[in-house]
Amino acid sequence: MIRKRKLGHDLEVSEIGLGCMGMSFGYGEVHDLKPMTELMHKAIDLGITFFDTAEIYGPYINEELVGQALKPFKNRVVIATKFGFDIQDGKSIGLNSRPEQIRKVAEASLKRLQVDAIDLFYQHRVDPQVPIEDVAGTIKDLIQEGKVKHFGLSEVGVEMIRRAHAVQPVTALQSEYSLFWREPEQQILPVLEELGIGFVPFSPLGKGLLTGKIDTSTSFSQNDFRSTVPRFSEENLKKNLSLVEVVKQFAREKNCEPSQIALAWVLAQKPWIVPIPGTTKINRLQENAGAVNVSLSPEDLQKIDKVLSKIEIAGERYAPASQKMINR
């Protein structure tokens, strides 16, 4: 059974969320409204109440899809969305977190999501041209106006977290985190714990790698962003599959799927961590939800750590242009 976890001081969500990006953006085809609506309704049946989208996904069409699908469940779900890109003629031309832009995006997102207030509004990427205090101050105003309920940050470093939090308490930080990418453990997680900020890992399945379904024969279409990600290049993928073999071995021992080991591991790290694996398939959704029933003992976690410490991950997690936008 999927239980609840708390992000920040008072945002209660299901312990696993659903990342909706791949339904309309980033992983190839754009999926139709009907099957994706069925998928989101199935997620709610399973106990998932936390849904993640963003203005840039599409752009716009992912928010519209989520808004339409979740309309009947308005007060039962938490929808997170994001601002921070400058979108012209349907394409991102850079970053923009100026206060007037944040307000403009908030109004447009409210309409697309068909809600009265945005539950969790993340800055998608830090805009180096706009002081983070101005961003946090604008969100503070939007919260006072009743248009936004909670403030989030994505892919930011420790200094930015502290500066933003001093102006408007940050409810959640979103960043990549998985057995495959553990960098947040070094500095980010200790600061989140200190400040009482929740952590929402995206790509907790390593962009699909930790499902055990990707191997050296897998090819990615041109409109699948993994085709540009260095860690998925032919040479790096061969090396990185050694980690997947380890996860598969643990899955065999626990009589579960590799993806469930990967998610159970993330959930076991801290009680204020809520991963948001994405999928477009109902069987994968059920598999991911089932991860909450996989129990990893302290001994299991130690064993996993020991084996992983001997494996070096090959390749960056983003193409160079995207990597530049990460504030670390």
* Residue found by looking up tokens 């993640």 in the block: 52
- Looking at 185-306, which runs of residues are DSSP E strands? 198-202
Higher local confidence (pLDDT), 322 or 90:
90
Which pLDDT tens digit goes with each residue over 58-76?
999 999 999 999 999 988 9
pLDDT tens for each residue of 125-140: 999 999 999 999 999 9
User: With 90 as the cut, is the pLDDT of residue 20 above it?
Assistant: yes
Structure tokens at 47: 């106990």
Give the span between the Cα atoms of 244 and 213, in whole angstroms. 10
Tens digits of residue pLDDT in 144-182:
999 999 999 999 999 999 999 999 999 999 999 999 999
C-alpha–C-alpha distance, residues 39 and 188, integer Å: 33
Cα dist. 313→232, 243, 322 in Å? 11, 8, 19
What is the percent of the chain where pLDDT is above 70?
99
What pLDDT does 318 receive?
66
How many secondary structure helices (H) and strands (E) does the chain include? 11, 11
Q: Give the per-residue pLDDT at 132.
A: 98
Tallying the residues shown for the chain, one arrives at 328
The confidence score (pLDDT) of residue 328 equals 72
Structural domains for the chain: 4-206+269-294 (3.20.20.100)
Reported pTM: 0.96
Cite the active site residues: 57
Whether the pLDDT of residue 324 is over 80: the answer is: no
Q: Mean pLDDT score of the chain, rounded to an integer? A: 94
Give the DSSP letter of residue 202: E
Beta strands in the chain (DSSP E): 4-7, 11-14, 18-19, 50-52, 78-83, 85-88, 91-95, 120-123, 151-154, 172-176, 198-202
Percent of the chain whose pLDDT exceeds 90: 81
Q: Are 285 and 35 in contact (CB under 8 A)?
A: no
